[in-house]
Amino acid sequence: MMLLKELVLASHNAGKLKELQAMLGDSVQLRSIGEFSSVEPEETGLSFVENAILKARNAARVSGLPALADDSGLCVDALGGAPGVLSARFAGEPKSDARNNTALLAALDGKTPRSGHYYCVLVLVRHADDPQPIIADGVWRGQVLSAAQGDGGFGYDPLFQAQGESVSVAEMDAAAKNAVSHRGQAMRALAAKLAELGQA
Nearest alpha carbon to residue 158 among 74, 69, 58? 74
Would you call 71 a catalytic residue per the annotation? yes
Nearest alpha carbon to residue 136 among 89, 91, 69, 64? 69
Which entry of 70, 71, 97, 137 is annotated as an active-site residue?
Answer: 71
- Measured CA to CA, the distance from residue 65 to residue 68 in angstroms comes to 10
Please state whether beta strands 29-32 and 115-125 pair in parallel, antiparallel, or not at all (unpaired): unpaired
Dihedral over alpha carbons 168, 169, 170, 171 (to 10 degrees): 60
Q: How far apart, in Å, are the Cα atoms of 17 and each of 12, 69, 168, 194?
A: 8, 10, 21, 20
Q: Quickly count: other Cβ atoms within 10 Å of residue 109's Cβ.
A: 8
In the Cβ-directed half-sphere of 101, how many Cα atoms lie within 13 Å? Answer: 19
Nearest alpha carbon to residue 125 among 47, 38, 49? 49
Among all residues, which ones are annotated catalytic?
71
